[in-house]
Amino acid sequence: MIDNFLVEFKPWSCEFEVVHKDWLFSLMHFKGKPKYKTPVLISYAYINRPFIMDLYDEVSVVRKLINAGLDVWMIDWGYPKRSDKFFKIKDYIDYIDFCVDFIKSQKGVSHITLHGYCLGATLSIIYSSLNPEKIKNLVLQAAPVNFHTENTITLWAMHIDPVKISRALGNMPGELLNIAFLLVEPVKLGLKYLNIIDNVENKKLIKDFFYMDHWIFDSPAVPGYVYEEQISNWYHKNEIIRGEYKLNGKKVDLNNITMPVLAIVAEKDNLTPPETTLPFFEKIPSKDKKLLISDKGHVGLTVSRSSHKKIWPQAVDWIVKRS
């Protein structure tokens, strides 16, 4: 029986090359035979590892994009250490800018498709509003922009002082975030292993389950200053959707989001429910915008087989048509 539990964990089903490294961050380029001119740059959330987009072959969003003939690039935000406490949101946006310029010069194009997921989507929105001329299409997956919602994790965020956390711990440790994410539904999530105990002979189910667990518990810390900004400016003051958020003295103006936008939300998402994205989606002036609604949760949106049947073919088709 134990053999079924001893799952050899090998994330990343697609081949890639790390084409640039800069202290904490790196840029990856996936191998493929692109048919379309506009490259796709994926910016994943900095609170988890980006291999969720390519966890294994059957549920790989990256493979779907490559197979469709797209040229796929991805940012890895790395594992911040104590010495990275002083990274700011500005440094993340600057690195997106570096990557966009790098890809543009490598591929000889004037703009790219930027695909953000979760907090990586928030970064993508900030970047796109500051540099709209560099972004041809904006793809947003479970994007938190409106932070004043009633979901549990938001209510908790509203009642903590991030400065005290970064002052005491340096960074917000990934382990602490994981405990918080599990405590949102302590009985349901704490007892989720009952299902695999009852299906111990089902190797596929167990493999899928533990692949997810490896991803869930592989959580980088959030640099202290980034955490302060995220909680104070985004959650407490809800500055982005209000049009009050500034970066380097420049206002992040959502009226600049005029490029084609694809927003994908998940109905059962308890971390970034649809209400975090919908007000933004309605507010932006883009004339070419599409909303896809999945019946899954925050992660199921990416790795469930049903999402790969229903949602991703539509999403990839949308990107391809604009590439």
Partner 1 sequence: MEELRREELIELFKALPKESFELLLRNISIRERLEDLWKEHASGKKLGYGERFEALFEEVFRFFFRPLEITLRGFRQLRFLLPLPELLESWESQWELIRAWRDFIDSLFSHFSLMTELSLGITAPAVVKSMMDNFRESWKERVDRYYRHYYLLDVEELRVYTDYPLILTKKTTQYLLNALDEWEQFSGYYMEFKDLIRNTYKASIREFIEVANSKRFDSFQSFRDAFINISNQKFDSLLRSKRYLEVQGNMVSHLMDYLYRTRRFFEEMFENNPINPFATVGHVDEAHKRIMDLRRKVMELEKRINELEAERLPAEKTKSRKQTGGGAK
Tell me the catalytic residues.
Answer: 118, 269, 298
Distances (CA, A) of 263 to 63, 216, 283, 290, 294: 20, 24, 13, 6, 11
3-class DSSP state for residue 106?
A: helix
Taking CB under 8 A as the criterion, the residue among 64, 85, 115, 134 binding partner 1 is: 85
Positions in 14-33 near partner 1 (CB under 8 A): 23
Taking CB under 8 A as the criterion, the residue among 164, 246, 305, 321 binding partner 1 is: 164
Q: Which of 76, 75, 74 is nearest to 30 (CA)?
A: 74
Binding mask 94-133 toward partner 1 (x if CB under 8 A, else -) reads: x---------------------------------------
Taking CB under 8 A as the criterion, the residue among 165, 264, 292, 319 binding partner 1 is: 165
CB of 248 to partner 1, least distance (A): 10
CB of 286 to partner 1, least distance (A): 29
Residue 1 found at the interface with partner 1 (CB under 8 A): yes
In the chain, where does DSSP find H-type helix?
2-5, 61-67, 89-107, 119-130, 152-158, 162-169, 174-183, 186-190, 194-197, 203-216, 224-229, 239-242, 278-283, 300-303, 305-310, 312-321
Within its chain, how far is the Cα of 83 from the centroid?
24
Residue 83 found at the interface with partner 1 (CB under 8 A): yes
Residues near 230 by Cβ (< 8 Å), separated by ≥ 6?
Answer: 89, 119, 162, 222
Residue 91 found at the interface with partner 1 (CB under 8 A): yes
CB of 17 to partner 1, least distance (A): 24
CB of 300 to partner 1, least distance (A): 18
Residue 143 has a CB neighbour count (10 Å cut-off) of 27
Establish how many alpha carbons lie within 13 A of residue 195's alpha carbon, considering only the half-sphere containing its beta carbon. Answer: 10
Positions in 166-225 near partner 1 (CB under 8 A): 167-170, 175-176, 178-179, 182-188, 190-194, 196-198, 200, 210, 213-214, 216-218
Longest alpha-carbon distance in the chain: 59
Closest CB to partner 1 among residues 7, 320: 7
Closest CB to partner 1 among residues 33, 204: 204
Answer whether 278's CB lies under 8 Å from 250's CB.
no
What one-character DSSP code corresponds to residue 231?
I
Residue 159 found at the interface with partner 1 (CB under 8 A): yes
Token representation of residue 15:
């081949």
Residue range at the interface with partner 1 (CB under 8 A); choices 81-89, 235-243, 298-306, 310-318:
81-89
Strand partners, 172: 222
Closest CB to partner 1 among residues 199, 238: 199
Answer whether 262's CB lies under 8 Å from 141's CB.
no
Residue 5 found at the interface with partner 1 (CB under 8 A): yes
Closest CB to partner 1 among residues 224, 300: 224
Closest CB to partner 1 among residues 195, 314: 195
Cα torsion through 173, 177, 179, 184, rounded to 10: 170
Q: Rule CB under 8 A: which residues touch partner 1?
A: 1-2, 5-8, 23, 82-87, 90-91, 94, 150, 152, 155-156, 158-161, 164-165, 167-170, 175-176, 178-179, 182-188, 190-194, 196-198, 200, 210, 213-214, 216-218
